[in-house]
C-alpha cells in the first residue's frame, strides 16, 4: 500500500546563488539599519534640545544665556526669597499666590472633568443609541482643535452668556475662577473620556454579564465590578487632566479675570521684559512636576493593562 514517488517529479537542478546580488542587498540592509538607529537620535534631539537647554541654564552661574559659568542653585534660591534681579514685578508671594490659584483651578476642574469624562466614556462604551458614532468622533475635537480657537470661542461664549444673564437678572457676572474652571473642565473632559474609554474597551464585557448572572443588579454591577476595574484608567485620566490644567496658558489667558492669575500666566507676565535665569528655574520646576504626574499616569495605565 505504500506509494512510490515517480522519479520524474524529483527535481535534479542545483540552485544557484547570485553573489553580487546578495552583496548589494546586504549593503542596502546595513544602510537601513544605520538609518533606523540615527532616526530617533535626530528626532529626540530636535524635540528635547530646547528643553534641555532651559534646564541646563537654570543651573548656570551667569545671567547670560550664552556662556556656561559653572553650577549654581542661586536662581532657585532667588525665586523663593523675593530676589529676582532687576525684575520689579516679581515677588515670591505673588508667585506662590499664582501657584495656589493654579492648584485650586486644577483640583476643582479635575474632579468635575473626571466625573463627567468617566460618565461620557461609559455612555460611549456601553450605550446603544443612534448617533453614538458621531458623538464618539466629536470626543476627539477638543484634542485636535487649536487652543487659541478654544480660548477665543470660550471668551465669546462667556460674554454672550453674561449679556444674557444680565438682561434676565440685571446683574453682570465677572470673569474669574468660575470661568477658568468651566473652560478647563471643557477641554479636560475629552482627555479623561479617551483614557477611561480605552480602559473600558480592554475590559471583558462578559465580566459585567457574569455579575448580573450571579444576581447583581446594574448598580451593584457598576460599583463592585466595572468601577474597580476601570479605576486605574480613571486615576490616570485625572492625573492627565490635572497636568493639562496646571500647564494651560492660552485658554486660561482668555478666560481669567482680575486676581485669578495662574502660574503659567504669571510666568508669561515675567517674560514681557526679558528671559531671566529665574524664569528658567520656575519653568524647570513646572516641567518636573508635570513629568512626574504624567509618568505616574502612564505607570498606572501600563501596570494594570495586563490585569484585565
Partner 1 sequence: MRQVDVELRNVVKAFPTRHESGQLVAVDNVSLEIYRGEFFALLGPSGCGKTTTLRMIAGFEDATSGEILIRGQAVQNVPPFHRPVNTVFQDYALFPHMTVLENVMFGLEMEGVSKKEARKRAQEALEMVRLHQAEDRRPRQLSGGQQQRVALARALVKKPAVLLLDEPLGALDLKLRKALQYELAALQETLGITFIYVTHDQEEAMTMADRIAVMNAGRVLQVGTPEEIYETPATEFVADFIGETNFLRGDILEVNNPFAQVCLDETLTIKAAFNDQALTSGSRVTVAIRPEKVNLFSATGPVKYADGTNESPEEHRELLLRDPDINLVRGRVLRANYIGTDTRYVVSIGQNQQLVARVQNYGLRSDTTFHIDQEVYIFWDAEHSRVLTE
Q: Give the number of other CB atoms < 10 A from CB of residue 81.
A: 9
In the complex, what is the shortest distance from the CB of residue 239 to partner 1, in angstroms, rounded to a whole number?
20
CB contact at 8 A, 121 and 200: yes
Which of 85, 104, 126 is closest to 180 using CA atoms? 104
Which grid coordinates belong to 273? Answer: 521684559
In the complex, what is the shortest distance from the CB of residue 118 to partner 1, in angstroms, rounded to a whole number?
17
- Cα 29 to its chain centre, rounded Å, is 37
Q: Which of residues 9-68 bind partner 1 (CB under 8 A)?
A: none
Q: What are phi and psi of 60, to 5 degrees?
A: -85, 130
In the complex, what is the shortest distance from the CB of residue 110 to partner 1, in angstroms, rounded to a whole number?
24
Closer CB to partner 1, 207 or 298, in the complex: 207
Binding map of partner 1 across residues 195-214, x = CB under 8 A, - = no contact: ---------x-xx-xxxxxx
Size of the site for partner 1 (CB under 8 A): 21
253 Cβ contact partners less than 8 Å away, ≥ 6 residues apart: 151, 265, 268
> Cα Rg for the chain, rounded, in angstroms?
29
In the complex, what is the shortest distance from the CB of residue 230 to partner 1, in angstroms, rounded to a whole number?
11
In the complex, what is the shortest distance from the CB of residue 137 to partner 1, in angstroms, rounded to a whole number?
17
Q: Which of residues 206-265 bind partner 1 (CB under 8 A)?
A: 206-207, 209-217, 220, 224-225, 228-229
Binding site for partner 1 (CB under 8 A): 1, 3, 204, 206-207, 209-217, 220, 224-225, 228-229, 307-308
Amino acid at each position: 500500500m505504500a506509494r512510490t514517488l515517480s522519479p520524474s517529479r524529483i527535481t535534479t537542478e542545483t540552485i544557484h546563488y547570485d553573489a553580487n546580488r546578495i552583496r548589494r542587498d546586504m549593503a542596502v540592509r546595513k544602510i537601513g539599519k544605520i538609518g533606523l538607529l540615527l532616526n530617533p537620535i535626530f528626532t529626540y534631539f530636535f524635540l528635547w534640545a530646547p528643553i534641555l537647554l532651559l534646564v541646563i541654564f537654570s543651573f548656570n552661574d551667569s545671567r547670560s544665556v550664552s556662556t556656561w559659568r559653572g553650577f549654581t542653585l542661586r536662581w532657585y534660591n532667588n525665586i523663593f526669597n523675593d530676589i529676582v534681579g532687576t525684575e520689579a514685578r516679581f515677588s515670591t508671594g505673588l508667585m506662590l499666590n499664582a501657584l495656589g490659584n493654579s492648584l485650586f483651578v486644577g483640583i476643582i476642574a479635575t474632579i468635575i472633568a473626571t466625573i463627567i469624562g468617566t460618565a461620557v466614556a461609559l455612555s460611549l462604551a456601553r450605550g446603544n443609541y443612534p448617533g453614538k458614532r458621531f458623538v464618539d468622533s466629536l470626543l476627539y475635537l477638543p484634542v485636535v482643535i487649536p487652543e487659541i480657537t478654544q480660548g477665543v470661542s470660550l471668551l465669546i461664549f462667556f460674554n454672550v452668556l453674561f449679556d444674557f444673564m444680565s438682561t434676565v437678572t440685571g446683574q453682570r457676572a465677572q470673569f474669574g475662577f468660575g470661568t477658568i474652571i468651566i473652560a478647563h473642565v471643557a477641554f479636560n473632559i475629552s482627555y479623561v473620556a479617551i483614557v477611561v474609554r480605552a480602559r473600558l474597551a480592554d475590559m471583558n464585557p462578559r465580566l459585567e454579564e457574569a455579575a448580573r448572572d450571579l444576581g447583581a443588579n446594574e448598580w451593584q454591577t457598576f460599583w463592585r465590578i466595572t468601577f474597580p476595574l476601570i479605576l486605574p484608567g480613571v486615576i490616570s485620566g485625572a492625573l492627565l487632566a490635572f497636568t493639562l490644567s496646571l500647564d494651560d496658558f492660552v485658554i486660561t489667558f482668555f478666560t481669567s479675570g482680575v486676581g485669578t492669575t495662574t502660574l503659567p500666566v504669571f510666568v508669561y507676565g515675567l517674560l514681557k521684559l526679558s528671559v531671566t535665569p529665574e524664569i528658567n528655574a520656575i519653568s524647570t520646576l513646572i516641567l518636573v512636576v508635570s513629568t512626574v504626574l504624567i509618568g505616574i499616569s502612564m505607570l498606572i495605565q501600563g501596570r494594570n493593562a495586563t490585569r484585565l
